[in-house]
Amino acid sequence: MTGLDGGRSPRWETTHRRIYTAAMRLFQEHGFERVNIAQLAAAAEVSVPTFYAHFPSKEHVVMQLPTAEQMTQLLATQPAHLPVAVRLRQAAPDYFASWSPELRADMLARWKIIAATPSLRTRAAEFERATAGMVAEALPAPPGAGLTPGDAVVVMAHLAAFTSGLLAWADGDGERKVEELVAEAFEALQTP
């Protein structure tokens, strides 16, 4: 249900947040693989169809794709004349700077669940490819030019490095800054 402004209604947002909070609690207490949709719905005090109205799968509770608009906004500040790799490296600190302390804690909790669940670690590659497609479309390009096949590979490699940095952050329980870990992963792409 959307409101007059095109956004979700407050009721929808409240239910969505309740499902998310209950799911994260159950995943942290019991492990992702041991929790089913019926348990998630019961913990959030919603029906199974209501759960599916909010999330296409339990994986989507933890693994959330950015929107195309978010990618466009993030990459719009990167000059089109710079190499794709440079633009991606410069955009990453801006992305992390936009995280509030609450979002940072939430992201760490989600990535810890992903890191601890082999099936989610594997599924992260699917989300990585989907995000790479959004990044490729969002990168400002000179008029009439799109990404070359080589640039598409650069985007995929950087998204894989980004994911590796996030997984290392989660594996280390957030002891090191995610910004440093992602920067190190990006640097590995430059090492001959």
- The percent of the chain in helix, strand and coil, each rounded to the nearest 5, is 70, 0, 25
* Per-residue pLDDT, 141: 65
User: What does the pLDDT look like over 68-106, one tens digit per residue?
Assistant: 898 999 998 888 888 999 999 999 999 999 999 999 999
- Mean pLDDT across 37-65: 96
pLDDT grade for 6, boundaries at 50, 70 and 90: very low
- Mean pLDDT across 130-158: 83
* Per-residue pLDDT, 174: 97
What angle do helix axes 84-97 and 68-75 make, rounded to 10 degrees?
110
* Per-residue pLDDT, 3: 37
Does the pLDDT value for residue 144 go beyond 80? no
Query: What share of the chain has pLDDT > 70, as a percent?
Result: 92
* Per-residue pLDDT, 21: 97
**Residue 190: partners with Cβ closer than 8 Å, 6 or more residues away:** none
Residue with the two structure tokens 């070359």: 148
Q: Are 99 and 177 in contact (CB under 8 A)?
A: no
| Residue 24 three-state SS | helix
* Per-residue pLDDT, 190: 87
Does the pLDDT value for residue 133 go beyond 60? yes
Q: Are 110 and 24 in contact (CB under 8 A)?
A: yes
Q: Are 16 and 8 in contact (CB under 8 A)?
A: yes
Q: How far is residue 8's CA from residue 10's CA, in Å, rounded to a whole number?
A: 7
Domains and CATH numbers, the chain: 10-61 (1.10.10.60), 63-190 (1.10.357.10)
Residue with the two structure tokens 């209604």: 9
Task: Give the pair of three-digit tokens for residue 177.
Answer: 């800054």
Beta strands in the chain (DSSP E): none
Helix (H) or strand (E) holding 48: helix 48-54
Pick the residue with more confidence: 82 or 113? Answer: 113
Residue with the two structure tokens 């992963």: 185
- Mean pLDDT across 181-185: 97
User: What does the pLDDT look like over 160-178, one tens digit per residue?
Assistant: 999 999 999 999 999 999 9
**Residue 182: partners with Cβ closer than 8 Å, 6 or more residues away:** 92, 96, 161, 162, 165, 166
